[in-house]
Structure 1
């Protein structure tokens, strides 16, 4: 009989060690070969502990439409006509007309609005619709709709109310009432993860949370080669609130002035961009009582500072010309940020 005792067995991936006894009984000529090998686990000891921050996920908020139509719970596509003077995603139902207008804008940030006009002698109901992001998954639950509107000369609203609802056949939202109006920032939200205002879709957010990431790297950086329109509605506050809500540690990635299109700011001209990152960190972490960026965060309804322990300096530093200057960029940003 050959006996091997107290052998340590390392299970790669599980990272646990077991002390075991393995016995090999050599069978006799008449003995059944079954039950010859026995495995007895004497004790199980925890191996090396892996910190939660050793595994995580990345939220790439910089590709084409960013979070719009994805984790961001906004249902309306092209809600404020920000990308260009375009009514992409909007269509007229029955009679009347819709057009983009820049006359008397809602604000300098929202200079384009949708002008909706009925034919004067029309006897048919007319509305305008939004297609959503490749349609809308409408379910039996409460939705929150908000928008700005302005009656034009001669327009009126029956009973002082506009009619808002969902179409029965296609799942598209219908907005409208009789009269000629201008509309802007037309928004509709389904319920959000943990009921956060301007927050994340419950289904996608929960799937993300179920991964149990130890950290989440964000927010990417939308500069260089990526194209497409996005609202940036799911901003820094919303992103970091989501990361905190799923119990992960945020890793804030900052742009160090080189891009996928191989354009880069010379290393001796980095200071304005370093100052921009410092303002970003102040916005997220500073007290409102003695810092204007911290006060701005409070005005945007986030009174509690975020706990930012990690900052990722740059990304994809193997790309020329960054590969030849990253050491200098890293040092310049690190030396400035480590003083914070």
Structure 2
């Protein structure tokens, strides 16, 4: 009988139904490494309609007729012989914004704009229309109409006859319905001619109520992450397919109507997801990126083209004699961000509404470059910037892979450089993340520090129709395990960001993504909630956490890291159970005791590793909070199967 009972207990232990509690020892009074305020951040690239059609709240597509097809996104509305539209190109006098519409009206002539996969309107909300108009001849009025998804009016406004001089005219409209795929009609009524440009429609309710601003719900999701930095504007769009189409920050600042639109690099990158109408209006430009960073309490990290186009495309390289111009752009950017208003670029910053400096501290030299051509250009940048601005940290690149010939060559050249951070990228399978939680445990502490600038666990199954389907709980769980290793090595890993950040469900090019949205709604993925837990419970210093004297790097599928918040006197213990069995543990505080303040456990889990959040089911995988029962210096806890756990334990 005893033998049978022993066999049953053994089977239960092996199955995970019953297990003996192990002890996690946390040396609370032994701080190791400072956790940088920049440890967990966000990386914004205009991919998946993240900017135009996304966080930049403009609802009109091709508002200035600057697309390659000038009327793309527009349709003419007219009866026979009652008007026409002619697109005029005035490049010699206005190279930044050369085109406008010359409209002849004989009765009632209109233009319809389809928006970015439709326009989202909310019942009772106000929408602000504006148009630059002039050269009016005759008696004309402008009627603006919001349409629902069936083409019926849900709001109208009228603008009186514009004058001869170019001037901005505006009207506000309140929507009577909520629709996700509406549109805009602009009617010109009467007889005569008129010139029109910059036809624009914004919700009045933008982030911080700024006219022509950002979409509130998307910025709020970013703010809720409490990111330490914002890396912008990319990404591959920094490089461009060729150097003509690279990102040039100077063309993204100043008055909106003077910013030069270009085609987005992602417009035709993947034939199976080529939108054909993806451009960069630069309504979200460098000033707005700096402002966004400031708004959400994050350090700005601009990435600049170093004189190389995307090496996955043309690989075009600027001549050595031309590289100083690229470096000058960086010097001018530092002036724009940090200098006084008595300088050229500092004055422009002030003219745009921000006389105070943005306090820029770091710049990325190139995006995802590699090989000897990149190293040569990086060294040219380093020589100038470290001489003229030694206070600015430089972020360098070792290519797109975490372990290949390009990666190792880059590191061989950068170890002796003055690079402050090296940007490593990991787009790998979930198993890779689980297996690499100890990647930096034996890292050379004298080498440049690490910026884990782009990472995401990519599941390798067949493509599914549901856009959010690649953001599974299993992928988020693997990322969390890897992130414990980044945090444990906070002395060398100073920054990390998931990529990409945003994706429109009807206009994506790349999956997975941290946040999905449509024209009205937005959701955080399971991966988002992992990022949020780590960032919101960052702490100030790492402390050792061990089981049987060893760090938690995947033994029995358990991963962990611990920090303290020295100011709040909180222990922040993160433990990932990547197994399919519940695990009981005793958390033992070494060198500290608990207080009467409540101790908490944040739990993120799902019974199915393929579980996802969707716009219709936004919280299927989301953190739950429960109180912990603690003794003087310990707590007994249970780790649910496939779970991420954050234990917040006040101490003294």
1:224 aligns with 2:222: no
Q: Distance in 2 between matches of 1:333 and 1:43?
A: 43
1:140-178 CA-partner distances (Å, limit 9, x unpaired): 21111111123643x313xxx532220243411111231
Q: Which residue of 1 aligns with 2:217?
A: 203
Taking only aligned residues, the RMSD between alpha carbons, in angstroms, comes to 3.4
Number of the residue aligned with 2:88: 102
SS at match of 1:77: coil
CA distance in 2, matches of 1:287, 1:217: 24
Partner residue in 1 for 2:575: none
In structure 2, C-alpha distance between the alignment counterparts of 1:292 and 1:55, rounded to whole Å: 34
Task: Tell me the distance in 1 between the aligned counterparts of 2:89 and 2:21.
Answer: 85
Q: Return the offset for 1:184.
A: 0.4
Give the alignment partner of residue 239 of structure 1, picking from 266, 277, 289. Answer: 289
Partner of 1:173: 184
Give the C-alpha shift of residue 239 in structure 1.
1.1
Q: 1:9 — aligned with what? A: none
8 Å contact from structure 1 (residues 253, 314) kept in 2: yes
The reply to whether residue 128 of structure 1 matches residue 122 of structure 2 is no
**Structure holding more strand per residue:** 2
Q: Which residue is 1:52 aligned to?
A: 37
Q: CA deviation at 1:44?
A: 7.7
Please say if 1:71 is aligned against 2:71: no
Alignment of 1:171-320 (within 5 A): 171-179=182-190, 180-190=193-203, 191-220=205-234, 221-225=237-241, 226=265, 228-260=278-310, 261-267=314-320, 269-288=322-341, 290-319=342-371
Instruction: Judge conservation of contact 1:243–1:249 (CA < 8 Å) in 2.
Output: yes
Give the superposition deviation at 1:41.
8.5
1:262–1:321 CA contact under 8 A, matched in 2: no
More deviation, 104-113/139-148:
104-113
TM-score w.r.t. the length of structure 2 is: 0.42
Q: Distance in 1 between matches of 2:23 and 2:49?
A: 56
Residues 85-115 of structure 1 show CA distances to partners (whole Å, capped at 9, x for unaligned) of 6111111223244433327799613321123
Deviation at 1:131, TM superposition (A): 0.6
* TM-superposed deviation, 1:134: 1.0
Q: 1:114 aligns with which of 96, 101, 104?
A: 101
Using the TM superposition, give the Cα deviation of residue 54 of structure 1 relative to its aligned residue in structure 2, in angstroms.
1.7
- Structure 1 Cα separation of the partners of residues 184 and 89 of structure 2: 26
Of residues 85, 99, 122, the one that matches 1:139 is 122
Whole-angstrom CA distance in 2 between matches of 1:37 and 1:230: 58
Give the gaps of 5 or more residues in structure 2: 13-17, 152-181, 242-264, 268-277, 393-652
Greater displacement, 299-308 / 90-99: 90-99
Contact 1:267 1:328 in 2 (8 A): no
Please give the alpha-carbon distance, in whole angstroms, between the structure 2 residues aligned to 1:335 and 1:103: 45
Counterpart position of 2:139: 156
Output one character per residue of 1:36-85: Cα deviation in whole Å (capped at 9) or x when no partner. 95678898837655323122121114x59672112111111000112346
Q: 1:147 to 1:94 in 2, by over 3 A?
A: same
Aligned length: 302
Match of 2:66 in 1: 82
* Partner Cα distance (1:328, 1:106) in 2: 35
Aligned partners of 1:249, 1:256: CA distance in 2, in Å?
A: 21
What secondary structure is seen at the aligned counterpart in 1 of 2:280? coil
After TM superposition, the structure 1 stretch with the greater mean CA deviation from structure 2, 202-211 or 96-105, is: 96-105
Displacement after TM superposition at 1:284 (Å): 1.6
Structure 1's 182 and 294: CA in aligned 2 closer, same or farther, altered over 3 A? same
CA contact (8 A) 2:114 2:183 kept: yes
Superposition deviation, residue 208 in structure 1 = 2.1
Q: Secondary structure at the match of 1:51?
A: coil
Residues 107 and 173 of structure 1: CA distance in aligned 2, closer, same or farther (over 3 Å):
farther
